[in-house]
Amino acid sequence: MDKCYASSVHRTSWMSLRITTLFGLLVTTSAFAAINLSPAEAQRIGHKIWQNECNGTISGLTSWNAGEDFASLGIGHFIWYPEGRKGPFEESFPRLVAFVSGRGAKLPSILSGASERPCPWNSRKEFLAAQESAEMKDLRQFLARTVDLQTQFLINRLESSLPKMLAETSATDRDAVRHRFEQLASSPRGCYALIDYVNFKGEGVLSTERYANQGWGLLQVLEQMSDANPNPVAAFSQAAASVLTRRVHNSPPARQESRWLSGWIRRVNGYSRA
């Protein structure tokens, strides 16, 4: 069964090798606070994100959603565009492949050079037709074997997000954004919210990720947070729901984003219950 296999692939050596230095040290810039997670906490975050994006299944590791122009691969549904399709959303799968390969993972043939070339399937129809092909099966098994490294990639993305966000924040809001980020990063539950949301909706720093000149990424949620709420994770959930509702309101009608909103709201409301 997918989920039985899924639970076994997580028990890998990176936890003992990387967690101490990854989370136990102050990152080498004043923009960061220390993030303290145990190996078990980091593993749970990886499991939860896999559940959020793929229902915790192997089959869900290779997806192409209806109405989208890109494949969504791995536990974070990392975006991979076909040739000639560079949409408004940040492409992350090639960077994941480079990250995983750089840490010694052997790539399947379908990913040879993937950090520099487009998705080999040109449409959702082609992608779905190839689901039982040897190449697709090899890709799914590779993604299942590297859940540990995919989780590490997500954590690294969070670690690099704060300087990007502060660079885009007005001087009057910069201290508040930093403070809220550090508050959340000081607890496992808050870390999960940050890691999941930045993977889910981005940092909020790209000009292409805007509707009506308003973004929906992590930066916008941190700006929207209320400091009056004594529970920072609950405040983050509330702000995220507001930002996502605004996105749908501003979105082009042809995209029909309202069909996704209830699921998005359930996801961010779950941060304070995770």
pLDDT tens, position by position, 151-188: 989 988 998 899 999 999 999 999 999 999 999 999 99
User: With b meaning 16 or more CB within 10 Å and e meaning fewer, what string describes 197-232?
Assistant: bbbbbbbbbeeebbbeeebbbbbbbbbbbeeeeeeb
- CB-based contact 244:215 (threshold 8 Å): no
- CB-based contact 196:49 (threshold 8 Å): yes
Mean pLDDT of 37-51: 89
pLDDT at res. 274: 63
Residue 25 has pLDDT above 60, yes or no: no
| % of the chain exceeding 70 in pLDDT | 87
> pLDDT averaged over the chain?
87
| % of the chain exceeding 90 in pLDDT | 74
Q: Among residues 10, 33, 37, which one has the least CA distance to residue 22?
A: 37
Residue 6 has pLDDT above 90, yes or no: no
Supply 11's token pair: 């028990």
User: What pTM was estimated for this model as a whole?
Assistant: 0.81
Residue 5 has pLDDT above 50, yes or no: no
Residue 203 has pLDDT above 60, yes or no: yes
pLDDT at res. 177: 97
Mean pLDDT of 45-68: 94
pLDDT at res. 223: 97
Residue 7 has pLDDT above 80, yes or no: no
Residue 117 has pLDDT above 70, yes or no: yes
Residue 49 has pLDDT above 90, yes or no: yes
pLDDT at res. 242: 98
Taking the C-alpha atoms of residue 61 and residue 48, their distance in angstroms, rounded to an integer, is: 14
pLDDT at res. 244: 98
Residue 86 — very low, low, confident or very high, per pLDDT cuts 50/70/90? confident
pLDDT at res. 32: 55
* Alpha-carbon separation of residue 119 from 134, 175, 223 (angstroms): 16, 40, 35
Torsion of CA 110, 115, 120, 125, to 10 degrees: 110
pLDDT at res. 34: 54
Residue 90 — very low, low, confident or very high, per pLDDT cuts 50/70/90? confident
